[in-house]
Structure 1
Amino acid sequence: MTTVTDIRFPFQDPALSPERRADDLLSRLPLQDKAGLLFVGISVFGDPTLPSAMFPAPSLETTVSKLRINHIYVIGDADSAREFAQWHNRSQDIAARTGFGIPITFGTDPRHGFHFNPGASAAAKVFSQWPEHLGFGALRSEELVERYADVIRREYTAVGLRLALHPQIDLATEPRWARLNATFGEDPDLVARLGAAYVRGLQGSALGRESVSAMAKHFPGGGPQKDGEDPHFAYGKEQVYPGRRWDDHLKPFIAAIDAGVSQMMPYYGMPVGTEYEEIGFAFNKAIITDLLRTELGFDGIVCTDFGLVSDVEMFGAPFPARAWGVEHLSAQERIARLFDAGCDQLGGEFCVSELLATVRSGLVTEERLDQSARRVLIEKFTLGLFEERHVDADGAKAAVATDEMVRAGIDAQRDSHTLLTNGTADAPTLPLPAGLKIYAKNIDGSVFDGCEIVDDPAAADLAVLRIAAAYEPRTNGFELFMHAGSLDYTDDERDEILAVCAAVPTVLVVNLDRPAILTPFVDVAAAIIAEYGATDRSVADVLLGRAEPRGRLPIDLPRSMASVEANKSDTPFDMPDALFRFGHGLTYGA
């Protein structure tokens, strides 16, 4: 905590407004320090003096003390909340010894679900565990989402995380898109309400010293990707609007702005066939300055998605910069385009020397850097980072994954289950009675209390199979983590499931991280239930009737790939001949 005796400069005085403090500090900073404010670096949890073995990133110590970057995106996990908090405090000590002692803003992608993608999300480890965001779309409760985001806020602040690179408030209108599981579904109005609730839960009624800053993404709406391919890769760079439904994708972002969201992240994609220039959204001045800032009135921080400037290698494969439409530009020219467009920070980049060179060459003025640096500093002061540089490492254990938080996460996992089919009206399969002989696959049989687990479907009264939604595995570096391509199961996958269904009445438990084509199974499975991230125990609680499925589909489920291909990528509820429609969900009472 800052005391009166610590105050040597106005920026150190907590009695002054964040704006006045930012102006004072900015007037004192050398150009190198200003430039460092305009990057979000990457650090993998571990020794801050060592470079990352996972990502092309220098050590945290080098990032902060040499490059003067003090926004850090954290990858990896500690073994405990206390260890996480200690690492945070050690890292802040490095920042305190550097220049004017600007504290680090630590940020992260979602950490409370089940899905692991090192460039998009981390599965819960030390934190409480909840369904993926699509499961909240299935429950449709603004109150629950706000309560969940408040849990995130409390757990993040306990270990020193003050920036959430979420919520992801894109629309799930293209069923093949690999990022669909992190959305709230395809209904623009529902996503807008839930997204605004999420912002309120993270930030409160206004950003302050107890808040986590929310970064809504991916403006002006990711999702309508051509053929469902993701713009992390050159073959997925095109966003298309065959239904002319651009405004639907803006609705959630307008709601987030109204809720006071502090930051925005534009997506990689480039709009095709619209009024806008066909270049990546972050490079597009008509998108960032004219639309986001002028028309929608957003004056917070705009951080680019990661890696728009520099080519790198990840997971043993080349990973070119996502500079779609401006691939021909040099690194300095790309940087100049981004700042001219209205962006404030370069995500996942370390090329401070290139930014400094753009100033020296006149491509970017120092006055333009000052505009963005001021926004960044105002947020740091508003969050109280200069006054509370450290967190209570000993108290972190008691504040993270409390019994209340864990129970609430489990309740949400169970409630979000969506019952798609259930035997017949006269003879429902679920809930299961006690005493059955169960053949269990991809689920721990010990969770079926009161039942006998057998190894052979022929010896069982019933089978329970946990299956994933289908995808086409990719084999090149970062692509390995993206579930993309066809939604059809392979012949081998389909036949294996059908063989069990033929041998014994079978309950299919389907993880919907993307829509699944369940047509081959719908008439032969005894019941089909969907989940969006749930432990085996949570699944068993629902199947055995200890909890009831309360979810309703937040997306359409296609009957075939023909219906997927006929679906307009930008248009909600456009799936022709869907097998199950948005809103479908049975209960045990009906």
Structure 2
Amino acid sequence: MIKRIQFAIGLGLAFSISHLPVFAQNKSTLPLYKNAKAPVESRIKDLLSRMTVEEKVGQISMPLGWPMYNKNGNEVEVSETFKKSLKESYTGMLWATLRADPWTKKTLANGLNPELAAKATNAIQKYAVENTRLGIPILLSEEAPHGHMAIGTTVFPTSIGQSSTFNPELIEKMARAIAEETRVQGGHVGYGPVLDLAREPRWSRVEETYGEDHVLISRMGEAMVRGMQGKSINSGVNVVATLKHLAAYGAPEGGHNGSSINLGLRTLHQFYLPQFKAAVKAGVLSVMTSYNSIDGVPCSSNEMLLKDVLIKDWDFKGFVVSDLNSISGLKSNHHVAGTAAEAAAMAINAGLDADLSGIGYGKALLDAIKQGKVSIKVLDSAVSKVLRIKFRMGLFENPYVDPQVAKQKVRNEEKIGLAREVARESIILLKNQNQLLPLSKKIKSIAVIGPNADNVYNQLGDYTAPQAAGNVITVLQGIKNKLGETTQINYVKGCAIRDTLSSEIENAVMAAKKSDAVVMVLGGSSARDFKTEYIETGAAKVNAKAEALSDMESGEGYDRATLDLMGDQVKLLKAVMKTGKPVVLVLIKGRPLNLNWAAENVPAILDAWYPGQEGGNAIADVLFGDYNPAGRLSISVPKSVGQLPVYYNARYPEKHDYIEMDAKPLYPFGYGLSYTTFAYQNLQIATNPGQKTVNVKIDLKNTGSTDGEEVVQLYLRHQQSSVVMPVKQLIKFKRVALKSGEQKTITFSINPSDLEIYNQKMQWEVEAGTYHLMVGSSSDDIQLEKDFVVHHSAILR
């Protein structure tokens, strides 16, 4: 007996979905590509043989998805725009169908909740299957870097906070939750993780990255891929992960988003590509190209990246997709193509399989084929990679989802709790003079001051959908939840992030004076609003002359010339500090900011990045001692933009001081304090030539009176090498929980890949020689160190 699922779709029409193919069930009449039992490669070959050139091009063109449905009360139907796209362009993919934000102009009123989202994707699939010659289902890609960017989903901390947990296992768990929320609403591909190496904090998209170190990024990327894709993308709860952005996008000249990158091939391979390789080896099935060029070659037409490295060297098995409009950008931005057809030919011939925009390929690619610039063999190769995902996901058998499951699974209590857990682990204690923190829950009065103390959207970061009232717990609300009615809470906003026209500094000072302690919540914002203008790619358009300034000073398109706290924030902080009250500074932001004055004058500082929807509860947990912070900086905090770049793993020779200041960051990579103390002892190193590993042991003890977690970090230095290497390089780390007085032996296994260098012959090699191992709590706080020797060189590949 065939199991069937009943649900409503479109205008409320009920119909049944079989777990057998949605097409005719008579096997004798089935084309091979519709036979679920046939090998996937045979199905692809059969389907390709039946497709016209126009249908093939349509399969790899991905127009914007949010215009493709119409909402009518509690039902959803496909739009005329979708019908036209399917009829004229043979559309096979859609992007951001469920996305809602000021750019898409989808709001809580006209957007879709999870149940309606499932109905919308079902309507799209039903129309595509029943109204096209071949009945090919649609592949739906969605933004999902810190939660599915759709209404009603769970909002986790942004990636820069995720990496500050130094806990890949937790991030994998989070990725599973994001994947499930995306898949049960009908999405198939989740855009994320972002693996860009962030070596330029002025760049607007730092918040989307995992920071400045490729090893940390690699571990986070692997965790995201494992969590999103699971063991099978046909599970009904997993999605294809898409790596962003290949490659070297995170260190643009002058911090300008999408600007050119000038670096050598050895630097590219040693620092900018390993995290992508690690994610490919973890099985990722999709990679997105970046907007920038590398040494004059745009990444969207870079055959060396897309063929030589990705496929030949790494054996990548998925498909490559452009960033939005980046194929067209070969003509309009980079000026390396003279026509749209030339741009399409350059991209697909270089190995770029799918076009995110719907205009980079489409007619332009058809013209290129007619002009002989692109062969059918190249086209078939690209199309087969997209079809392979559709077959592997089981979309030809069942392209639908159950709206009731979406209603139950999206943003449930378990996922909200997980959002709080990730937020707590991401919080970094930067300073705690005289153990001001944790504050007592018996405090009689407390002032909560600052532009980010009670601002929902400033807490969430870019790529976040509109939020219903009560979904997001701000710092003010989190403190209220923690203290209840027994404490007098005096809230004053004080000022905006950027705008100085409505500051209320005197009121803030009055609130501080009548309170026993002050929590000040400052920082930045990536909160988009409906007044902001956007360019075609969705990046915000900066308008420095706008009469009313939004809070937005970070997020895609908002590059900075300085890293100072903007507006009247420093003025507000100094005024409150003059009251003499104990002040705790909480930072909510997307990039490192200038904290020089605060670091010198404010007794306690917490960095929460963009902590997501449970950020207020998580911050309150840390403020009042219900959680002992153990987050670590995944990117260094400079003293001045004049120091940039200031990442910790710079190559030799060591940096020397400037006339005005030293060359060290204010807070280094890996830095973070705790409410307890830890002792490192007994470093042991044992080489194991037979297994080609180096085994490391240390004893770690919690020497304080509070339970806590320590992030143990292993750094390596090549005492001598054939090419110039960093002064130190993170190779391993572990987040370890220890009760007060508890001691554990912590072990690490160093593998050849941890020691390899890209040598003068452009080969990966472990060189014979002496290596210096350093163990500590940050890149600048080494507790134990010792040498070991590798006696024989080895070419790895």
Q: Note whether the superposition's TM-score is higher than 0.5.
A: yes
Tell which structure's C-alpha radius of gyration is larger: 2
Correspondence for 1:545 among 625, 628, 631: 625
Indicate whether 1:84 and 2:117 are aligned: yes
2:607 is paired with a residue whose SS is strand
**1:219 maps to what in 2?**
246
Q: Say if 1:470 and 1:516, in contact at 8 Å, map to a contact too.
A: no
Cα drift, residue 45 of structure 1: 6.4
Cα drift, residue 180 of structure 1: 1.4
**1:506 maps to what in 2?**
583
**1:581 maps to what in 2?**
668
2:568 is paired with a residue whose SS is helix
Unaligned runs of 5+ in 1: 51-56, 114-120, 273-277, 311-319
546-555 or 12-21, which moves further after superposition? Answer: 546-555
In the alignment, the residues of structure 2 paired with residue 215 and residue 286 of structure 1 have an alpha-carbon distance, to the nearest angstrom, of 20
Q: Which has the higher contact order (CA 8 A, sep 6+)?
A: 1
Unaligned runs of 5+ in 2: 1-18, 73-78, 101-105, 455-475, 493-510, 543-555, 656-661, 678-797
Indicate whether 1:98 and 2:132 are aligned: yes
Indicate whether 1:35 and 2:57 are aligned: yes
Cα drift, residue 515 of structure 1: 1.0
1:165 is paired with a residue whose SS is strand
User: 2:338 is matched by which residue type in structure 1?
Assistant: L
Q: Say if 1:436 and 1:462, in contact at 8 Å, map to a contact too.
A: no
Q: Say if 1:309 and 1:321, in contact at 8 Å, map to a contact too.
A: yes
In the alignment, the residues of structure 2 paired with residue 571 and residue 260 of structure 1 have an alpha-carbon distance, to the nearest angstrom, of 31
Indicate whether 1:304 and 2:317 are aligned: no
Indicate whether 1:5 and 2:26 are aligned: yes
Change (3 A) 1:153 1:470: closer
Cα drift, residue 242 of structure 1: 11
Mapping 1:152-231, distance limit 5 Å:
152-205=178-231, 207-210=233-236, 211-231=238-258
User: 2:294 is matched by which residue type in structure 1?
Assistant: P
Cα drift, residue 532 of structure 1: 2.6
**2:275 maps to what in 1?**
252
Q: Say if 2:591 and 2:609, in contact at 8 Å, map to a contact too.
A: no
Cα drift, residue 309 of structure 1: 3.9
In the alignment, the residues of structure 1 paired with residue 169 and residue 567 of structure 2 have an alpha-carbon distance, to the nearest angstrom, of 43
In the alignment, the residues of structure 2 paired with residue 375 and residue 243 of structure 1 have an alpha-carbon distance, to the nearest angstrom, of 30
**2:692 maps to what in 1?**
none
1:159 is paired with a residue whose SS is coil
Cα drift, residue 266 of structure 1: 1.4
**1:269 maps to what in 2?**
292
**1:53 maps to what in 2?**
none
In the alignment, the residues of structure 1 paired with residue 663 and residue 46 of structure 2 have an alpha-carbon distance, to the nearest angstrom, of 59
Mapping 1:435-474, distance limit 5 Å:
435-441=443-449, 442-444=452-454, 445-448=476-479, 449=483, 450-454=486-490, 456-469=511-524
1:164-216: CA deviation from partner (whole Å, max 9, x where unpaired): 11111111222222111111222211211121121111112454444311111
| TM-score normalised per structure 1 | 0.87
Stretches of 4+ aligned residues off by more than 4 angstroms: 239-243, 320-324, 473-477, 565-575
**2:425 maps to what in 1?**
415
Identity of aligned residues (%): 26
325-334 or 222-231, which moves further after superposition? Answer: 325-334
Correspondence for 1:428 among 436, 449, 464: 436
In the alignment, the residues of structure 1 paired with residue 405 and residue 582 of structure 2 have an alpha-carbon distance, to the nearest angstrom, of 50
Change (3 A) 1:151 1:567: closer
Cα drift, residue 345 of structure 1: 0.9
Cα drift, residue 490 of structure 1: 4.0
2:541 is paired with a residue whose SS is helix
Change (3 A) 1:186 1:353: same
Q: Say if 1:418 and 1:550, in contact at 8 Å, map to a contact too.
A: yes
Change (3 A) 1:62 1:470: closer
In the alignment, the residues of structure 2 paired with residue 126 and residue 476 of structure 1 have an alpha-carbon distance, to the nearest angstrom, of 24
User: 1:108 is matched by which residue type in structure 2?
Assistant: E
**1:117 maps to what in 2?**
none
**1:516 maps to what in 2?**
593
Q: Say if 2:64 and 2:95, in contact at 8 Å, map to a contact too.
A: yes
Change (3 A) 1:367 1:565: closer
Indicate whether 1:531 and 2:608 are aligned: yes
Correspondence for 1:282 among 282, 289, 300: 300
Cα drift, residue 245 of structure 1: 5.3
1:135-169: CA deviation from partner (whole Å, max 9, x where unpaired): 22111122112111111121111111110111111
In the alignment, the residues of structure 1 paired with residue 240 and residue 311 of structure 2 have an alpha-carbon distance, to the nearest angstrom, of 18
Q: Say if 1:223 and 1:570, in contact at 8 Å, map to a contact too.
A: no
1:83-140: CA deviation from partner (whole Å, max 9, x where unpaired): 1101111111221122311111111112645xxxxxxx84x64122211111221111
Correspondence for 1:338 among 347, 353, 360: 347
Q: Say if 1:239 and 1:269, in contact at 8 Å, map to a contact too.
A: no
Cα drift, residue 385 of structure 1: 0.8
RMSD, aligned α-carbons: 2.9
In the alignment, the residues of structure 1 paired with residue 333 and residue 578 of structure 2 have an alpha-carbon distance, to the nearest angstrom, of 49
In the alignment, the residues of structure 1 paired with residue 120 and residue 212 of structure 2 have an alpha-carbon distance, to the nearest angstrom, of 39
User: 2:193 is matched by which residue type in structure 1?
Assistant: P
Cα drift, residue 72 of structure 1: 0.8
Number of aligned positions between the proteins: 555
Q: Say if 1:468 and 1:512, in contact at 8 Å, map to a contact too.
A: yes
Normalized per residue, which structure has more strand?
Answer: 2
User: 2:415 is matched by which residue type in structure 1?
Assistant: M
In the alignment, the residues of structure 2 paired with residue 242 and residue 578 of structure 1 have an alpha-carbon distance, to the nearest angstrom, of 27
User: 1:555 is matched by which residue type in structure 2?
Assistant: I
